[in-house]
Amino acid sequence: MSYEYIRRAYGVPAQVGMRVKVDGRPGVLIQHTSHQHYLRVRFDGAAHDVNAHPTWRVEYQPPERRA
């Protein structure tokens, strides 16, 4: 599945490169290569990626505005 599917199915704004907080831990969404209905997150300072459910304690951060 893709982030497009996740956006439609769960009504969330998920997209590659978006900053998120999952259960309070900051990270970024990376390329989705799985066929599962999960986000792929690389937490700040982590060496590996993890899966996260799109609606379980996820805060989607709006893109930063540049002047």
Total structural domains within the chain:
1
pLDDT of residue 1: 63
Asked whether residue 29 is assigned to any structural domain, the reply reads yes
CATH number at residue 30: 2.30.30
pTM summary value: 0.86
What is d(CA 17, CA 26) in angstroms, rounded to the nearest whole number? Answer: 13
Distance (Å, whole) CA 36 – CA 62: 25
With 90 as the cut, is the pLDDT of residue 2 above it? no
22 is a domain residue: yes
Q: What's the pLDDT at 62?
A: 86
Please report whether residue 66 resides in a domain.
Answer: no
The answer to whether residue 32 is domain-embedded is yes
Q: What is the pLDDT of residue 26?
A: 98
4-57 per-position pLDDT tens digit: 999 999 999 999 999 999 999 999 999 876 667 899 999 999 999 999 999 999
Q: Which residues lie closer than 8 Å to 48 by C-beta, 6 or more apart?
A: 42
DSSP β-ladder status, 19-22 and 58-60: antiparallel
- Whether residue 40 is contained in a domain is answered as yes
Cβ-based neighbour number of residue 22 at 10 Å = 18
Q: Look up the domain containing 55 and give its range.
A: 3-60
